[in-house]
Amino acid sequence: MIAWLHQHRDAFLLALRRLTATPLNTLLSLLAIGIALALPAGGQMLLANVLHLASDTAPSPQISLFMSLDAPRAASEDIGARLQKHPGIRAVRFVPREDTLARMRTSEGLGDVIDILTKNPFPDAFVIDPSDDSPAAMEALAKDLKRLPRVEHVQLDSAWVRRLDALLKLGRTGVALLAVLLGVGLVAITFNTIRLQVLTQRQEIEVSRLLGATDAYIRRPFYYFGLLQGLLGGFVAWAIVRLATLWLAGPVGELAQLYSVDFALAPLSRGDSLLLVALAAVLGGLGAMLSLRQHLGD
């Protein structure tokens, strides 16, 4: 066990030595990895900010429930009581048919039309704030409400939620696509760096084998190299996104003030930052593994 730990320590130190042996090459590789990873990471940061902005500034989606025209007031009151107790409903407001008629009569251009009607054409209605305003939850709640007695129509006011949801989905898909493509790029960069390392260390590999080195011993420094390069590239990506956030914070703040919105650009969350760095290290290790399989063989 101690021997194994010594070997890992030696492999790690050797990988560090190889990284620092060619500082310019290492710096350029780290920049390439950093920039590649900064794009999806920056996209994720922007998406999180858009989501935050949307939830802060957009009105809550609502559901309108209309009773049938012949429903007596008692039936409406009964439905009102049920809605108050419904677990999926956060708030409910009753709109009597008389109030709707009066509001329509005062609406420009509608007063004359309303006056010639012999009876009130509007039903009693309820405006409902759901507990969960995700499109799926609202759909489910609407279906549930439609089953109530004397309910004629249930209308979801969630078009904008759907649009925003679709936009966010598009954004997330774009970020995921970018992450996959640039992640493959990172693997390719590491693959090539390790290939060059294997070529330049060919003699050391041969000598080590002759002196009793196992395959694991020979591969270990290369794995550490890939992991370290990925890890450091992840840090560079994080730093790029952080700097970009600081740079954009001023102009975004000014824009938000012009729209009277209280909004400040937030940097990558701690979780996303950790994920970025960890993922970069894993991809570096993967690049090393593929390269060793290809270039060191059996």
Partner 1 sequence: MIQFKHVSKRYPPGIDALPDIDFEIGDGEFAVISGHSGAGKSTLLKLVAAIERPTGGVVLVNGQNVGALKRNAVPYLRRNLGLVFQDQKLLFDRNVFENAMLPLSIAGFPPREAAKRVRAALDKVGLLEREKAMPIALSGGEQQRLAIARAVVNRPNLLIADEPTAHLDHETARDVAQIFRDFHQVGVAVVVATYDSGLFPEARRIALNHGRLA
Task: Say how many residues touch partner 1, by CB under 8 A.
Answer: 20
> Does 20 interact with partner 1 (rule: CB under 8 A)?
no
Q: Which of 56, 77, 99, 215 binds partner 1 (CB under 8 A)?
A: 215
In this chain, which of 77, 144, 204, 262 binds partner 1, going by CB under 8 A?
Answer: 204
Regarding 4 and contact with partner 1 (CB under 8 A), the answer is yes
Among the candidate windows 37-45, 46-54, 208-216, 282-290, which touches partner 1 by CB under 8 A? 208-216
Q: Is 211 in the site for partner 1 (CB under 8 A)?
A: yes
Output 23 or 59, the one with its CB closest to partner 1. Answer: 23
The answer to whether residue 217 forms part of the interface with partner 1 (CB under 8 A) is yes
CB of 22 to partner 1, least distance (A): 12
User: Whole-number minimum distance, CB 215 to partner 1, in Å?
Assistant: 7
- Taking the complex as a whole, the smallest distance from the CB of residue 221 to partner 1 amounts, in Å, to 11
Nearer to partner 1, 97 or 220 (CB): 220
Cα(first)–Cα(last) distance of the chain, in Å?
Answer: 25
Identity of the residue, 159 or 196, whose beta carbon is nearer to partner 1 in the bound complex: 196
- Residue 23 touches partner 1, criterion: CB under 8 A: no
The residue assigned the tokens 């507990």 is 131
Stretch that binds partner 1, among 91-99, 132-140, 201-209, 227-235 (CB under 8 A): 201-209
- Please report, as ranges, the residues that interact with partner 1 according to CB under 8 A: 2-4, 6-7, 10, 203-204, 206-215, 217, 298
